[in-house]
Amino acid sequence: MRYLLVEDNIQLARAISDRFALEGHVVDHAKSLNEAREFMDLTSYQLILLDIMLPDGDGRFFLKTHRVNKNTTPIIILTARSEVSDRINLLDLGADDYITKPFDFRELEARCRAVLRRQDGSADNKLELSGTILDSLEGTLKTGAKIEKLRNRELRLIEIFFSSPEKIFSKNHLMDRLFSFSEDISENAIEVYVGRLRKKLDNSHVKIETVRGLGYRLISLK
Amino acid sequence: MRLLVKNGSIQRRLAVQLSLVAGILSFGLFMLIQVVAETAAVDTQDKILRASAISIADSLYAENGKVRLELPYAALSMLGTISQDRVFYRVLFKEKTLTGYDDLPVQAVEMLERKNKFSTFQYRGEEVRSVLIKRSIAVDGVFSDAIIIVAQTRLGLNVISQKITRTATTMGVLFFLFGTGLSVWAAHVALNPLNRIAQAVTQRGPKDLRPVTGNSPSELKPLVDALNSFILRLKSSALRTEDFISEAAHRVRTPLATVRTQAEVIHRSLDKSKNKTALRDMIRALDESSRSAGQLLDHAMVNFRSDQFSPSEINLLDILKEVCNRLSPLAGLKDITINNEFQEDNCLFRGDAILLHNAIRNILDNAIKYSPDDSIITVKCHWSKKIIVSFEDAGRGFSGNEYTKRFTRGTNVGDVIGSGLGLTIANEVAIVHGGFVLISKNKKGVGSCVSLILPTF
C-alpha cells in the first residue's frame, strides 16, 4: 500500500514512515500542502494522512478542496488539538477519520484499515497461499467455498504469517506486534491465538507449524 | 435620617424621601381641614348670633314714650340648636339696661365702628362669643340708640372643633400611610430594571460571559454598556486562555507523538528483553501522560461549555452511534466488541451535543480501557420517564465504596494508573443536563455498569 503523509514535523514524519515500513507499507512524506499537491499529481495513493497545522496553510482547507474536487482518496487527520468541536468539524469537512497525537500506532493502523474497508478495498489486499485466500480488509480467510471470519488479533497474526510464508517468527516478535504496550501479556497468549487460527485453517492446505525453541511459521502442505 | 439613607439602598433612600414628602403633604392636609372647618364653624355661630340679635332688635318698638321689647322665643331658641350652650343677652337703651344680664359687658363703642362686631371674652368663668348691634328707635320723635348684645358659650364649638381635629388627624394619618405605601411601591417599581439586571448578573456561573441583554431604561444604559464592555474584555481574555491551552496541547503533543512512534520502532528492533521492558515502560508512561492531558483538556472544555450552556434539539442515538463507531477500532485492538441495544431509532433530547459526545466518549473509553481482551461492551439506550444510557462491561468493576468515590478527581480503579477524570467529566456533563451518572454492578455477573441518566422533557 502507498500512503501519503503530510506532516511538517520531520522527526515525527520519519518515525511514522519507519513504523509503516515495518508493516510493509510505502509512505511518501510531504512537508507542506504544496508538496502534497505535487506528490498527488505524480502518483495515486490509497490513503492520505494529513496534519492540520502546516507551514503553508490549514490542513482543513486542503481537506475541503480535496472533497470539492471529488477526489475519493480517503483522508485521516492527525490532530494535536483535542477539542471535540474540532473533531466533529473535521468529519463534517469530509475527513474519513482522525486520530489525536500522540497515538498508539496500532490504533492508527486499525483506523487506516477501517477507512480502507469502507472505501471498498482493491485486490491488492488479498494474499494467497496454496488455495487459501486472506482478505485483510474484509478480515476473512477463504478456503474453497468455506469462509472464516477473523477477529482483529487473529487477522493481524495471520497477516504476519501470510506476508512471509516459511519464515519463522519468534513468540516475542509476535507479541510485540499483537498486543498494546499497556497490556501485560504472558507468552501463552500467543499460543491461544495460534490455536484459534489453526482451527480456522482446518481442511486447508496451509498450516501453522511450531518450530521448537524458535517460534512459529506458516507452511504450505501442497 | 442621614444614617438611614447613607449606606442604605437607593430604593430605601427613594422611599424615605417620598415618605417625607407624603408626611409634609399630610400635615398640610391636616392644617387645611382644621382651618377651613373651624372657620366655617365659627362663621356659623356668628351668623346665628347675628340673626338672633337682629330678631331681638326687630322686636323693639316705642310705645307711650317708652321703648318696649317683646322678646321673640325664636331669637334665643335658634341659638340652642348648636348644643347645650348657655345664651346671654342684654338690651340697652340710652345706656340703661332694658332687659337681660346687667353685667354682660358692653364692648366699647368703637367696636361698633369696627366692621367685625363680634368678640370673644371670658364671662362668668366661661368663654363666650358675642355680637353687638345697634338700632335707632324713635321715642317721641327723638331717635336714640338701642344696643343689643347676644352672647353664647363656646362649648358646642369646642366639641365641633375636637371632632374636626379628630377627623383631620385621621385623614392626615391615613393620607400619610397611603402616601408612604405608594412611595415604597414607587421606589420598588422605579428600581425594578436595576434589580432585573443585578439578578441576571448574579445568577450566572463564574464563567458565564454572555453580554447582558434585555430592555433596560435609558438611564441604565451607560451602566449596562460599561458592564457589557467589561464582560467582552473578560471574554476575550478567557478565549485567549482557551487558545493558549490548544496551542500548548499542540506544542506538547507533536513531540510526544514523535517520541512515541520512534520508541515503537526501536522497540521492534531490539532483541534484549531487558531493554524492551524499559522501552515498554517508557511508552506506557507516555500513553498515560497523553491520556491525562487529553482528559484535562476535555475537563476544561466541559467546564467552559457548561458555563455557557446552550442546549439544542439533538438525537442522542446519533451521538451514541457516532462515538461507538469511532471507538470500535480502538476496542478491536483488544478484540472487544461493542454491541448496541437501542430502543428505537430516535431519542430526541435537548442538550449540548458536544458535551454529551464528550461524556459518552469518556465513559466508553474507560470501559474499553478496563475491559479484558475478547469481551463485549453493551451500550443500551432506553427511555420512558428518564433517558438511561448504560454501558455494561466485563471489566474489573468498582469495589464497594468506590461507587460514589469515582466522581472526584484523581481516583482510579484499583492499581491502574490514570487521571480518573473520565467519569468526573461524564458526571459534570450529566449534572449540567439535569441528570447524573450511576455506577452499579453488571447484572450479568462480572464487570460494572455505568449509566448516564438524563431527564426527558
Per residue in B168-218, pLDDT (tens digit) is: 899 899 999 999 999 889 888 888 888 788 887 777 766 677 777 777 778
Q: Which of B242-251, B365-374, B441-450 has the highest mean pLDDT?
A: B365-374
Q: Is-contact A143 A195, C-beta < 8 A?
A: no
Same domain, A151 and A173: yes
Same domain, A107 and A47: yes
Same domain, A112 and A131: no
Same domain, A112 and A8: yes
Which CA distances in Å does B350 have to A109, B200, B311, B384, B433? 37, 23, 6, 15, 8
Count the residues in chain A: 222
Residue A24 CB-density burial (10 A; 0-12 exposed, 13-18 middle, 19+ buried):
exposed
Q: Measured between CB atoms, which of A78, A84, A106 is closest to B333?
A: A106
- The whole-number pLDDT of residue B395 equals 76
| Beta partners for residue B69, in sequence order | B60
CA distance B267 to A105: 12
Whether the predicted model's global pTM rises above the 0.80 cut: no
- List the domain boundaries for chain B: 2-163, 206-308, 311-457
Same domain, A106 and A18: yes
Assembly ipTM: 0.79
In CATH terms, are B2-163 and B311-457 the same topology?
Answer: no
Per residue in A35-64, pLDDT (tens digit) is: 999 999 988 888 999 998 889 988 888 999
Q: How many domains does chain A have?
A: 2
Interchain proximity B332–A110, CB inside 8 Å: yes
Same domain, A16 and A112: yes
Architecture label for domain B2-163: 2-Layer Sandwich (3.30)
The domain boundary, picked from A118, A151, A166, lies at: A118
Residue A134 CB-density burial (10 A; 0-12 exposed, 13-18 middle, 19+ buried):
buried
Per residue in B32-60, pLDDT (tens digit) is: 988 998 898 888 888 888 888 888 888 88
Residue A85 near chain B (CB below 8 Å): yes
The CATH code of the domain that includes A190 is 1.10.10.10
Interchain proximity A182–B287, CB inside 8 Å: yes
> Nearest to residue B330, comparing CAs of B306, B296, B364, B304?
B364
Instruction: List, in sequence order, the alpha helices (H) in B270-380.
Output: 273-307, 316-332, 353-370
Same domain, A141 and A158: yes
Q: Is-contact A77 A101, C-beta < 8 A?
A: no
What range does the domain containing A14 cover?
A: 2-118
Element counts in chain A: helices (H) and strands (E): 8, 13
Task: Give a three-class secondary structure readout of B33-73.
Answer: HHHHHHHHHHHHHHHHHHHHHHHHHHCEEEECCEEEECCCH
Grid cell 448574579 in the structure block, residue = B202
Interchain proximity A176–B260, CB inside 8 Å: no
CATH class of B311-457: alpha beta
Same domain, A142 and A95: no
The domain boundary, picked from A61, A87, A118, lies at: A118
Same domain, A60 and A131: no
Interface test with A, best of B280, B296, B333 (most A CBs within 10 A): B333
- The whole-number pLDDT of residue A92 equals 77
- The whole-number pLDDT of residue B389 equals 92
Q: Measured between CB atoms, which of A101, A106, A181 is closest to B254?
A: A101
Interchain proximity B273–A172, CB inside 8 Å: yes
CA distance B183 to B25: 13
Per residue in A76-113, pLDDT (tens digit) is: 998 876 555 566 677 778 888 888 888 888 889 888 88
Segment A161-189 mean pLDDT? 82
The domain boundary, picked from A63, A89, A118, lies at: A118
- The whole-number pLDDT of residue A195 equals 92
Interchain proximity A83–B246, CB inside 8 Å: yes
| Beta partners for residue B340, in sequence order | B379
Segment A179-189 mean pLDDT? 76
Same domain, A110 and A206: no
| Omega within 30 of 0 (cis) for the link into A102 | yes
Interchain proximity B253–A84, CB inside 8 Å: no
Same domain, A107 and A129: no
Among residues of chain B, what percentage have pLDDT more than 90? 11
Among residues of chain A, what percentage have pLDDT more than 90? 25
Interchain proximity B257–A102, CB inside 8 Å: yes
Nearest-Cα residue of chain B relative to residue A51: B254
> Nearest to residue B321, comparing CAs of B339, B348, B294, B301?
B339
Q: How far is A98 from chain B (nearest CA, A)?
A: 9
- Grid cell, residue B137, equals 328707635
pLDDT at B275 over 70: yes
Nearest-Cα residue of chain B relative to residue A84: B354
Same domain, A77 and A159: no
Q: How far is A16 from chain B (nearest CA, A)?
A: 6
